[in-house]
Chain A
Amino acid sequence: MNLGAGMGSFAVLLLALGIAIAAGLSLAVGGTHVSVRDVAWIAGTPESSPAEVDVYSRYLQRHRRHRMAGGLLGALFAVILGGRWYGSITIGVGQQNPLADVLFCGLGGVLVGAFSAESFRLSEPASTTVSASLAEHAGASRPDVIRAARGICLASLVGGGLVAATGHGLVPLWIAIGGLIATLVAEATQAAITGRRRPVLSDRAQAVDLRMRSFASTSVARLELAVAVLTAAWTVSKVPGAGTGPFLLVQDLTVIAGFVITLVLLHRASPRPPRKWSSELS
């Protein structure tokens, strides 16, 4: 979806400024507000102690703030780059480059934001004794989704490589490499989630920690799959020599399906409970 072809520098600047102001306002006016329902969703129970509610609230707020800031910065990057250098801004797969795609860059920004949100160190209680459990750390919550993302990312790379090897241009390969970088950010975030220091203060503290890790791991796995699918759609869209006939149809269908799947995954990866979710259901 091309939003504006042949935009002038002033229009780009105006649009970028508009996005920056909207971002600042949404961050300031409660886009990251955490409600009782949100806490019940991440805790898996409506009954949490005030201390637990505080921990969940701060964690969710941090995730939302970092992801929103990352996503908006990514979108801003795409708007400026698309408007200034490619002459058009795209949402989803388009004629230009993924770097001018608000969805691709926004998704990349959300991933970097999630990585930033997970890059914290659990403060150690003031004590001369340090404790740790010898039980294994819980692994990623959705290994199947992560495997699928890796597979799609690899397929994009192989496809891009084949196109380059057969002398049909390097664009698909470069797109696949861009997707690989985003996937690596997601993998680093997963490693940060599963490898972070665990509290051993009490069973409740461990349960809260496990809930937060499970939420983050599932969410990041879906983001990873979303970026892999969008990369694959972009890669397929740039395979040249489609001409007409069945290949063109497959190419178009793949691009549309990739776009829809990306939006669904992005929505499901959101750090918010689904609209129909109620604490009685959990």
Chain B
Amino acid sequence: MIVHLDTRSPVPLFEQLRAQIERLIASGQLRPGTKLPPIRHLATDLGLARATVNKVYDALARDGLVETAGRHGTIVLDGSGVTTTATDLSAAADTLVVIAHQLGLDPTAAHRALDEALRRL
């Protein structure tokens, strides 16, 4: 289960991480009961400040997607109620189309960029 953060993106790193974990929970890839890595480990792996990861876990806990169980760490809860997956993908596709259009690229170039991004993952 890998998360990717784009340091050049205008979207804050906090929001990128929160949205990705939320999507992984909503899609069932992170199952209920799964333990998320401790804040210090994830912060080290991503090169972020601990406060940023802490803020992400707090936000996810407020949304009812995880619960902090003291020394047992942060546990994933049932995320079946979250319905952002389809709309997220659609919104991202819309953004890709808009950018390709504004750059004057044809659909083939947009498809090629998408294929390359998928290969990089």
When the two chains form the complex, which single residue of A124, A129, A132 contacts B42, counting CB atoms closer than 8 Å? A132
With A128-B6, A134-B30 in contact, is A198–B1 under 8 Å at CB?
Answer: no
Please give, as numbers and ranges, the residues of chain B lying within 8 Å of A197 by CB-CB distance.
44-45, 47
Q: Decide: B4 and A136 in contact? CB cutoff 8 A.
A: no
Q: Mark A128-148, 1 if CB is under 8 A from B, else 0.
A: 111111111100000000000
Q: Decide: B37 and A130 in contact? CB cutoff 8 A.
A: no
Please give, as numbers and ranges, the residues of chain B lying within 8 Å of A137 by CB-CB distance.
37-38, 41
Q: Decide: A195 and B41 in contact? CB cutoff 8 A.
A: yes
B20, chain A: closest CB distance, angstroms: 9
Please give, as numbers and ranges, the residues of chain B lying within 8 Å of A267 by CB-CB distance.
none
Please give, as numbers and ranges, the residues of chain A lying within 8 Å of B21 by CB-CB distance.
134
What are 20 A-B contacts defined by CB distance under 8 Å? A128-B6, A128-B7, A129-B4, A130-B46, A131-B2, A131-B5, A132-B2, A132-B46, A133-B37, A134-B1, A134-B3, A135-B1, A135-B37, A136-B35, A136-B37, A136-B41, A137-B38, A195-B40, A196-B44, A197-B44
10 pairs of A and B residues whose beta carbons are closest in the complex: A132-B45, A134-B1, A128-B8, A132-B46, A131-B4, A137-B41, A197-B44, A130-B5, A128-B7, A197-B45
- What residues make up the interface of A, taking CB atoms closer than 8 Å to B? 124, 128-137, 195-198, 200
Starting from the known contacts A129-B6, A130-B5, A134-B30, 19 additional A-B residue pairs (CB-CB under 8 Å) come to A128-B6, A128-B8, A129-B4, A129-B7, A130-B4, A130-B7, A130-B47, A131-B2, A131-B3, A133-B1, A133-B37, A134-B36, A134-B37, A134-B42, A195-B40, A195-B44, A196-B44, A197-B44, A200-B2
